[in-house]
Amino acid sequence: LYTDTVMDHFMHPRNVGEIADADGVGQVGNAKCGDIMKMYLKIKDGVIEDVKFETFGCGSAIASSSMATEMIKGKTIDEALAVTNRQVVEALGGLPAHKLHCSVLAEESIKSAIKNYYDRN
Select from 2, 36, 43 the least CA-distant residue to 21. Answer: 43
Whole-number CA gyration radius for the chain? 13
Contacts with a second copy, 6-45, as mask; x by CB under 8 A: ----x---------------------xxxxx---------
3-state secondary structure 29-76: ECCCCCCEEEEEEEEECCEEEEEEEEECCCHHHHHHHHHHHHHHCCCE
Active site residue 58: no
15-24 per-residue burial string, b: 16 or more CB within 10 A, e: under 16: beeebeebbb
Contacts with ligand FES, 32-71, as mask; x by CB under 6 A: -x-x---------------------xx-xx----------
Considering beta carbons, is residue 35 or 70 the nearer one to a second copy?
A: 35
Considering only 38-46, 64-72, 96-104, 110-118, which stretch makes contact with a second copy by CB under 8 A? Answer: 96-104
Residues that bind a second copy (CB under 8 A): 1-2, 10, 32-36, 55-61, 96, 98-99, 101-102
Active site residues: 33, 102
